[in-house]
Amino acid sequence: MYEYEIQQARSADLLRKAEHERLVREAVRTRRAARRAAQERTAGTESHTDRPRRRWSTRAA
């Protein structure tokens, strides 16, 4: 009978751990999706030109 109780406790512990890992994966997925959405929103507002950036210091002779 004692082994059965240990097995039940172990099973319940494994189920709790699995649920926690699912929640962590879902949170990571949600954060990534939010980051991508924010990046797509800001990508249109940034100016991208083929021109090189202006030098802030003068060129050496």
Check residues 24 and 43 and name the one with the higher pLDDT: 24
Termini Cα distance of the chain: 90
Chain segment 23-32, per-residue pLDDT in tens = 999 999 999 9
Quote the tokens at residue 39. 């990046």
Q: What is the mean pLDDT of residues 33-60?
A: 75
When computed from its CA atoms, the radius of gyration of the chain, rounded to whole angstroms, is: 27
Q: What is the mean pLDDT of residues 3-7?
A: 96
| pLDDT value, residue 61 | 66
Decide: pTM greater than 0.85: no
Question: What letter represents residue 38's amino acid?
Answer: A
| pLDDT value, residue 19 | 98
DSSP 19-52: HHHHHHHHHHHHHHHHHHHHHHHHHTTS---SSP
